[in-house]
Amino acid sequence: MKKKHSAILLKREEEVARRLSPSWNGQDPKPVLSPDGISYEVSEKIGAVSYGGLGLLHQVVKWSGLGEAIDRAVKLFKRHQPYHESDHVLNLIYNVATGGTRYQDIELRRQSVSFLEAVGAQKIPAPSTAGDFVQRFDASDVVDLMEAVNESRRKVWAQQPRSFFERAEIDVDGTIAPTRGEGKKRRQRRAKVKPEIVKTRGFKKLTLEREEIAEMDYHPSKAQGTYRLVVLRKTILVEKGQRRILPQTRYHFYVTNIPAAQLGTAAVVRENNRRCNQENVIEQLKNGVEALRMPSATLVANWAYLVIAAQAWNLKAWMGLVLPARLQARQLVKMEYRRFLREIIEMPCQILRTGRRLVYRLLDVNSWSRLLLEGSAWLKRRPAT
């Protein structure tokens, strides 16, 4: 980071500290929140966006080669007039990355000259065009798209220390996402109630009666080795009011190649229960990037949209894995997406063209400003391997 920028950041940080100092206790008779003389004007030459963090996200895309990998792997058009497959995919990713939750949100950014300048585009696909794009996918095309993502992911992994590869954990869980063009109202979390109220009102009560664990060898048909398959069977008592209903049986499966000497049968289950990351990932896909909105009418089109929208979450994690740890980048890997959006992506920036440079000039600062300034410069100096 340039000395000039470092000095500006330091000055801004000192100003924030001064304003928030506990020693200030103004005795002004007026309320603190009382701005006067507000008026609006339109800038003639200066353009700005409220998504300053998008520039760094785009640098991660370029650094990882994601756009090129998509164009090599996904072939949906005979001619590009003018958009390539990567243009459509990145258009949807950036819509989600900047807080968009439906195709129609693309139009707001499409009408912003400053946003178009920020992504280096003359124009971007319209919402209807974006919807038509995902309808072009068949199942093999979605697999090709996922392989393109995997190709870029390997570049991210190549930057990690050896300890990163000691254990790989894949979280799998199921969820139901209805196909609807419009958003649905979110169910409010039900307050806790006492057991006697559960009985009185006839609510269904589930009580774990017992758990049984078994282990066996598992050899997938396309795999070279044999894995350990641990099966957990849960017997659950079901009561409704004063009546006891037939018990439910639920099975949980765990696949691992960690030797039993290092991780016993029961320890496999305990380790999974300790992490419980499946629900967290699904919650972020549902309510963070809202990848499970299912905006299209067909199964495969919604599958394609889910894979594309989930890349906003992946790019956040890649940013955290690639950028230097001294910038607190590792916090990004598991950071909730809404926090990432508010604190890093939604950074007001002036957009400038100077020669061959596209400049994102920060108009405000926060604790993540150094990540944007130093991270951008770091990515320019360090090519992917």
Does residue 48 sit within a domain?
A: yes
pTM of the model: 0.77
Q: Domain end: 257, 277, 299, which one?
A: 257
CA distances from 206 to 174, 193, 235, 244 (A): 20, 14, 10, 10
List, for the chain, all residue ranges whose pLDDT scores fall below the cut of 50. 182-187
Task: Give the pLDDT of residue 182.
Answer: 42
Task: Give the pLDDT of residue 165.
Answer: 87
- Find the domain containing 336 and state its range: 3-15+42-164+290-381
Task: Give the pLDDT of residue 9.
Answer: 84
Does residue 187 sit within a domain?
A: no
Does residue 55 sit within a domain?
A: yes
Residue 333 CA to residue 103 CA, distance in Å, equals 27
Residues 87 and 155 in one domain: yes
Residues 61 and 199 in one domain: no
pLDDT digits (tens, 9 = 90+) for 165-198: 887 777 776 677 777 554 334 445 555 555 555 5
Residues 86 and 156 in one domain: yes
Residues 331 and 226 in one domain: no
Residues 62 and 116 in one domain: yes
Does residue 341 sit within a domain?
A: yes
Does residue 302 sit within a domain?
A: yes
Task: Give the pLDDT of residue 47.
Answer: 87
Report the number of distinct structural domains present in the chain: 2
Task: Give the pLDDT of residue 201.
Answer: 58
Task: Give the pLDDT of residue 15.
Answer: 85
Residues 77 and 159 in one domain: yes
Does residue 184 sit within a domain?
A: no
